[in-house]
Chain A
Amino acid sequence: MTDYKMKILVVDDFSTMRRIVKNVLKQLGFENIDEAEDGAQALAKLKNGNYGFVVTDWNMPNMDGLDFFKATRAEPNLKGLPFLMVTAEAEKEKVIMAIQAGVNNYIVKPFTAEVFKEKMDRIFEKLEKK
């Protein structure tokens, strides 16, 4: 069961991309969407808010997506927070790094709302099984 009321954080340094991702999320029925423009800012937001899901870009200044993800894993309160990582292309080495670090799933730009939903569903299915 997907909780459409959950708070989702979209992290990307390019505001157009944030808007595109937000648009996809809205299409899927999510309403409570917040944004941050890099990992450092996102981390501060996560610490202060009750978020249920994070969609983050990889390439960002200050603190990139992977750094950001790892930083959340070091926080006891944020440890279990599901992450969907966005990459520009299926670079094998990146995907490997992300999976090794424990990112829940990744998605390759450009994606459709359907693919996005599939990835999200898979993340939550796995979490529920645990």
Chain B
Amino acid sequence: MPDEMEEIIAEFVTESEETLDKIDPLFIELEAKGDDKEILNRLFRSVHTIKGAAGFLGFQSMVDVSHSAENIMKKLRDGDITVSRRLMDVVLKSVDMLRLLLKHVKEKDGIHENTAPLVQELNHILEEALAASGAASSVVPTAPAATAVPTVIPVGPQKAASTESPGPAIPVIPDTVTAETGQQSETSSRPESLQTLRVEVNKIDKVMDLTGEVVLVRNRLLNIVNRLEHQYSDDHDVQSLLEAVSFLDLITSDMQLGVMKMRMQPIAKVFSKFPRLVRDLAGPLGKYVDLKVAGEDTEVDKSVIEQIGDPMVHIIRNAIDHGLELPKDRIAKGKSEKGTISISASQKGNQIVIEVSDDGRGIDIEKVKAKALQKKLITEDEAVRMTDEAAINLIFLPGFSTAEVATELSGRGVGMDVVKTNISKLNGTVEIATRNDKGSTFTIHIPLTLAIIQTLMVRSANARYAIPLAPVEETLTVSEGDVSDMGGNDALIIRGKVYPLFTLSSAIGGDRVVKAGCKYAVVVAIGDKRFCIGVDELLGQEEVVIKTVSGINTGSSFILGATITGDGKVVFILDLAAISKNAYNLAQVS
């Protein structure tokens, strides 16, 4: 029984959080539209539902907050009060409080929030709003019986009631009827929504893992069958085997895709938080912002959902803070006083493309260069020779921030470098396009799945390794004379720039082997660091399925995971970030 209770509470937290996520953008829509009965009904219902369930589970503070918020929504719906920014501010505070309370429940941290001041504020603002619409409230008496008619949500049935039941006729409120009709058309559009199952993520991951195994076995089979076919092409049994393996090949690919899809969720889960964000950010700055969202149905992996939010928030925050101009400046430029931020997501082949654009002033490239110079991130010479594209990318360097005046939004000590790092973690890339006074566009590319990555297969000290391809910038052949000595450390000079060179065996072996021979160098960029990894042989590009390795602590090794190649060999996938850290540490020791 206690287990059952715990499960119910966990479900309550998840479901309530989802409900709050869904209604968050509705509040903003409501604010824009004024009074919309349909939206108000949905808001009311959602908060009401959370209150009901919280009551069962004994979360009294949640009941208190949602009760007061619900009261306001009820009055709004009944037309007793009207939507105002101040009212919404307080209502949104209650949504935040519910989230916080849910978090405490989820984390079982035993923290008790004092909700009394908020409840008081909610009640107070309701009274104030009621007083403001004095005329209306004097018509509607305060006794509950009298408010009975407008409080009734079901309206459709009332039509039925008047024809069917001889009981006292219940008046029909015309505009609620339209709201109800709107809802019913929704019914036909999503008929079988109960056909969903909540499955724990680790169960899906287990299947995903096993599917990966199947893929690897399939690859081996394909290899073997191909060899057999070469040797015994006339053998009937070999032909049958080839046919069977071809089927297995197809089915395995479908299965892999199917399992991947189980982990995918619409990106709306992330996007739904942005209307609120934009509202809260733009308001205090005195900027007007129109948020346009497209492609929110695009499905992405769960881990992308979890990790793409922060970088996107940062980009949007920057767009509002630095990109968009003040209304008066926009008018002076002949633009509309309201700025626009457009967010979109789409799937292109094996990639998810996310774009965030604004129609603001664009990024001032000269200013960026000047700032980078001042912060000693680049040299004068570099600043002059730098392409515009390279210059814009300076904003991703740690320690860079163009805000001359640190506002409340930016200047929190987190720069755009975090954006880049977070996106790199998803094996993704981010690009910026900017035009003076037209605005900027950030384009993020993320692979559809994190379970399969593109790698560069290399050989070093007679072992094969897979290097994730995303951070690889280029590969070079190296002859002995190319290696320079920079204070006891090996380095390569490429197009006039100095890159530290670590042979792979020394970088992961821990011992520094000075002037170790290598024939090829792989140039990689990790964060702001660029360096070369020396290897003996480049074997080519290969798409691999990442398998976790049990028994090795990936946190303290240089191994991201392992994969099994077509010929059945286990190959380690290197963790470049860890290697970079270690290599630099070693270099500093000397």
Contacts and interface: CB of A to CB of B under 8 A. Distances in A.
A88 B151 contact: no
A15 to B, nearest CB: 6
Contacts of B400: none
Interface string A34-45: 011110110000
B110 to A, nearest CB: 22
Contact of A67 (B147, B156, B164): B156
B322 interface: no
Contacts of B147: 93
A97 interface: yes
Given A70-B161, A91-B144, A41 B194 contact: yes
Contacts of A40: 187
Given A63-B187, A93-B145, A109-B52, A20 B151 contact: no
Contact of A23 (B8, B44, B53, B160): B8
Interface stretch (B165-173, B297-305, B376-384): B165-173
A57 B152 CA distance: 14
B154 A67 contact: yes
B42 A61 contact: yes
A66 to B, nearest CB: 5
A92 B187 contact: no
A57 B56 CA distance: 14
Interface in B133-177: 144-145, 147-149, 151-154, 156-157, 160-161, 164-165, 167-168, 170
Contacts of A62: 183-184, 186-187
Given A37-B194, A109-B56, A110-B56, A59 B165 contact: no
Contact of A88 (B19, B48, B144, B194): B48
A33 B12 CA distance: 20
Contacts of A15: 11, 15, 198
Contact of B11 (A19, A94, A101): A19
Interface string A6-35: 000000011111011001000000000001
Contacts of B335: none
B4 interface: yes
Interface in B180-220: 183-184, 186-187, 193-194, 198
Given A61-B42, A93-B144, A16 B156 contact: no
B52 A88 contact: yes
Contacts of B226: none
B49 interface: yes
Interface residues of B, number: 44
Given A59-B48, A101-B165, A94 B152 contact: yes
A16 B56 CA distance: 10
A109 B53 CA distance: 8
A41 B57 CA distance: 27
Given A36-B194, A66-B154, A93 B148 contact: yes
Contact of B8 (A16, A67, A94): A16
B67 to A, nearest CB: 9
Interface string A51-87: 0000001111111111100100010000000000000
Interface in B1-57: 4, 8, 11-12, 15-16, 19, 42, 44-45, 48-53, 55-57
Interface residues of A, number: 39
Nearest to B9: A16
Contacts of B154: 64-67
B239 to A, nearest CB: 50
Given A23-B4, A70-B161, A14 B49 contact: yes
A42 B242 CA distance: 51
A112 B15 CA distance: 22
A59 B52 CA distance: 10
A31 B269 CA distance: 36
A128 to B, nearest CB: 25
Contacts of B48: 59, 88
Contacts of B193: 37, 41
Contacts of A63: 156, 184, 187
B187 A88 contact: no
A101 B161 contact: yes
Contacts of B11: 15-16, 19
A97 B152 contact: yes
Given A23-B4, A70-B161, A93-B148, A110 B55 contact: yes
Given A37-B194, A61-B45, A93-B151, A14 B53 contact: yes
A127 B56 CA distance: 29
Q: Which of B57, B154, B161, B194 has the most CB of A within 10 A?
A: B154
B51 A88 contact: yes
A59 B49 contact: yes
B19 to A, nearest CB: 8
Contacts of B45: 13, 59-61
Contacts of B8: 16, 19-20, 23
A14 B15 contact: yes
Nearest to B15: A16
Nearest to B168: A100
A20 B52 CA distance: 11
Contacts of A66: 154, 157
B52 A17 contact: yes
B153 A59 contact: yes
A65 B51 CA distance: 17
18 contacts: A15-B11, A16-B8, A19-B11, A20-B8, A20-B56, A20-B57, A40-B187, A57-B52, A59-B49, A62-B187, A63-B156, A64-B153, A67-B154, A70-B161, A74-B160, A94-B152, A100-B165, A110-B52
Given A16-B12, A16-B15, A38-B187, 16 more contacts: A14-B15, A14-B19, A14-B53, A17-B53, A19-B11, A20-B57, A61-B183, A63-B156, A67-B156, A67-B160, A70-B157, A70-B160, A93-B145, A93-B148, A93-B151, A109-B55
Interface of B: 4, 8, 11-12, 15-16, 19, 42, 44-45, 48-53, 55-57, 144-145, 147-149, 151-154, 156-157, 160-161, 164-165, 167-168, 170, 183-184, 186-187, 193-194, 198
- Counting from the closest, the 3 A-B pairs by CB-CB distance are A93-B148, A110-B55, A110-B56
